[in-house]
């Protein structure tokens, strides 16, 4: 069982590692990707047949290569779970623009780049899904997590937009909003 060519960017820690392991337990062929190759390799080693790939989701060429390597290795891409996430805990007035950009780049731009490159691969593989990870902060905000909350709200909207665009192709797009 399971679909071929799963793509799970930045899954070497926490929720992402658990998602990757669950897909593997269900029989999926998994690619574990992270900016830290050693961390990705450690998770991949716990999943039968998984491949670890180093990739920075804020670098379009690396995301494009990740999708291509996944397709090359597994023959298809059916599911993408762009799960990279970082947070800056600070009041807005004390936050540097560099911290704002780093957080929004990983948490939003990384999702955009993954959707941009994975969606065509999923459609040409016969269909599948993109599941993004949002947050409860996407609807309620958070006093000290401004860039994280703003990016996660944008991820929800981007996911809804991708779902509307995918209405006529064999692909779905949905957002999970863990607490």
Q: From the candidates 29, 34, 148, 159, which is the catalytic residue?
A: 148
∠ CA 21-127-6, rounded to 5°:
20
DSSP state of 172: E
148 is catalytic: yes
Quickly tell me which residue has 């920075």 as its tokens.
Answer: 56
Q: Is the Cβ–Cβ distance between 106 and 61 less than 8 Å?
A: no
Give DSSP secondary structure letters for 25-72.
Answer: HTT---EEEESSHHHHHHHHTTSTT-EEEE--TT-HHHHHHHHHHHHH
The residues assigned a catalytic role are 148
């Amino acid at each position: 069982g399971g679909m071929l060519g799963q793509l799970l960017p930045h899954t070497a820690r926490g929720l992402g590692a658990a998602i990757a392991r669950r897909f593997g337990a269900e029989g999926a062929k998994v690619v574990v990707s992270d900016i830290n190759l050693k961390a990705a390799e450690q998770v991949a080693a716990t999943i039968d047949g998984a491949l670890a790939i180093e990739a920075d989701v804020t670098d379009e060429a690396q995301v494009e290569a990740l999708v291509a390597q996944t397709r090359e290795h597994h023959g298809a891409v059916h599911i993408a779970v762009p799960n990279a996430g970082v947070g800056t805990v600070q009041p807005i007035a004390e936050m540097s623009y560099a911290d704002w950009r780093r957080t929004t780049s990983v948490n939003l731009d990384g999702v955009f780049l993954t959707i941009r490159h994975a969606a065509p691969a999923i459609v040409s593989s016969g269909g599948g899904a993109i599941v993004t990870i949002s947050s409860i902060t996407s609807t309620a905000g958070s006093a000290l997590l401004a860039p994280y909350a703003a990016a996660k709200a944008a991820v929800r909207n981007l996911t809804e937009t991708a779902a509307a665009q995918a209405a006529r192709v064999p692909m779905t797009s949905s957002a999970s909003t863990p607490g």
